[in-house]
Structure 1
Amino acid sequence: MHVRTDRMKVYIQDKGALLMTYDSNCIFCKIVSGAIPAAVIYEDDICLAFADLGQATKGHTLLIPKDHQENIFELEEDTAAHLFKTAPKIANAIKKEFQPAGMNIINNNGTAASQSVFHYHLHFIPRYGADDGFQPSFEDNSSQYTSEDLQAIAKSINNHL
């Protein structure tokens, strides 16, 4: 096993294969390593789910990859596939325990999107009604875009796939 550091990131390798990156400044990496305790809900070789300290609503849970990947733009496809395969398990466990009326599953990427911990994570926020204290909002800007505008937007994004 070989361990190399680079700007506070630790790369753990075994027989030439990169096993995991760890950022010593990242609170979620510290939770993964056991340096900081967490109320763990689920764990496997790739991901970890635990209760969010802030509990936006009762049952608010975070799902993270164990490997340090900052945001959706860095998230490896196989890690993303595993996280989204695990997501229904977490959501259904929360639903069975707390019987919420609904659930928001949210991911913030970058400071402009209100990301505060720069380790990719999904928020599972059970919803109990309009007065449960959590109010995400989306403005309806549909009157500002024609069908042609939407087609142009779709084509320009598709050009990068």
Structure 2
Amino acid sequence: MEKTVKDDCIFCKIANGEISSNTIYEDEHFRVIMDINPASKGHCIILPKTHAANLYELPDDWCKEVMPVAKKCAAVLKDVLDCEGVNVLQNNGALAGQTVFHLHVHLIPRYQDDTVEIQWKPTQRTDTEELAKKIREAFAD
């Protein structure tokens, strides 16, 4: 897996050990750190050691590796923190809530009385069949 680093990216610096962090897990390709602005007790973020601003830019071989890291870390968080669940969250673009433009995956432990709000209001759409057809056709291109 090829690695690139962006000199002015704070997450590149953290992921590659240039800036200290509360690291909970590290391997050749990823560093998992405690979030400095946690949504809940134990909130961590997975940082690839290669720079990609978002999911669209992350090379496929790195994409294949990030979910096993998320699974491993989420299981440890659940065991150690005795949380009732873990949200695995990844935002792409400012409108989606991304604030640091280096791909990262949030692991947010959930507790019965926490104040974390990750929600949307379900809507009823009448054009889902048309949308599905248009999206399917894009895969064929």
TM-score normalized with structure 2 length = 0.92
Per-residue CA deviations over 1:2-39 (Å, capped at 9, x if unaligned) read: xxxxxxxxxxxxxxxx8421111211111123221011
Which one scores higher on RCO, CA 8 angstroms, separation ≥ 6? 2
Mapping for residues 110-125 of structure 1, pairs under 5 Å: 110-125=93-108
Paired residues in the alignment total 139
Deviation at 1:153, TM superposition (A): 1.4
Report which of the two structures shows the higher radius of gyration computed on alpha carbons.
1
Between the aligned residues of both structures, percent identity stands at 37
C-alpha separation in 1, matches of 2:55 and 2:69:
16
Q: Which runs of 5 or more residues in structure 2 are unaligned?
A: none
Residue number in structure 1 paired with 2:30 = 47
Which is worse superposed, 44-53 or 88-97?
Answer: 44-53
Q: Does 1:65 align with 2:43?
A: no
Mapping for residues 1-161 of structure 1, pairs under 5 Å: 19-129=2-112, 131-142=113-124, 145-146=125-126, 149-161=127-139
Spell out structure 1 runs of 4+ moving beyond 4 A.
Answer: none
Q: Which runs of 5 or more residues in structure 1 are unaligned?
A: 1-17
In terms of fraction of residues, the more strand-rich structure is 1
Per-residue CA deviations over 1:83-137 (Å, capped at 9, x if unaligned) read: 01221101101000111122211111001111011010110101112x4121112
TM-score normalized with structure 1 length = 0.81
* CA RMSD after TM alignment: 1.4
